[in-house]
Amino acid sequence: MTNLQEVFNNKKAFIPFVVADDPNFDTTVDSIITLANNGADIVEIGIPFSDPVADGPVIPDADLRAFDQGVNTNVVFDIVEKARQQTDVPIIFLTYANIPFKFGYEAFCKKCQELDISGLVIPDLPIEEQAELRTVADQYGVHLIQLVAPTSGDRIEKIAKQASGFIYMVSSLGVTGVRNDFSKQLSDTISRIKQVTDVPVAIGFGIHSPEQAAQLSSISDGIIIGSAVVKLIAENNNGSTQDDLASYARSIKDAITITA
């Protein structure tokens, strides 16, 4: 399994996000490969869920399109298996707790190990409730990637001490989606994290432009971009999806490489 922490060695990491099976199976596979070939250091794949409480509105719309395709957890694994024929880019899942729970923690983590899925981001599973899954995830070498938010307050150090792979720093209050303003506490929060762990910190939620990526990568170890990528794929119906996605990915990677 990929040691995610090593991905951040001597560079700023670019972590784009796609929703599995949106708009269809083949496009998702192609998008993973395109991103991997154009600067992505880690690709985050969202497993569609009926009540994605951390997301809105771009990603829930993508989830609905995937449901129209008949997506389920096995289809998501099949997408990764197909992509793995052409890329060994580190991959993580964004999922909600009910999905691995219903699939079975052991079966889910074993499949992650087989497909070299390096980590899980689970927004609705706070650190206080992770013990059961963590035991299984550790057995199969799957990182549980912790989220720190502007509201984490006194829990920041506790979360950071238990983190592995990298820490997902939520940029702002609210849900995912393109935005122009970010929490003014980010730098201070990252400093607090760095006092207790050497696990890298990547900032996500709302980043969409190369200028924002450059700015926020200057205070962090990497950048996560979700809604902007999902929106680009959704709105591109003229056959140039992969070309446009490649160009966008390169623009972000170039922007954060300058600050590395």
The question of whether 132 is a catalytic residue gets the answer: no
Residues 210, 255 contacting (CB under 8 angstroms): yes
Catalytically annotated residue among 21, 22, 30, 44: 44
Catalytically annotated residue among 21, 30, 55, 63: 55
**In angstroms, rounded to a whole number, what is the distance separating the alpha carbons of residues 174 and 191?**
22
Question: ∠ at Cα 226 (225, 228), nearest 5°?
Answer: 85
**In angstroms, rounded to a whole number, what is the distance separating the alpha carbons of residues 172 and 183?**
5
Q: How far is CA 96 from the centre of its chain?
A: 13
The question of whether 44 is a catalytic residue gets the answer: yes
**In angstroms, rounded to a whole number, what is the distance separating the alpha carbons of residues 133 and 248?**
36
Question: Would you please indicate which residues are annotated as catalytic (active-site) residues?
Answer: 44, 55
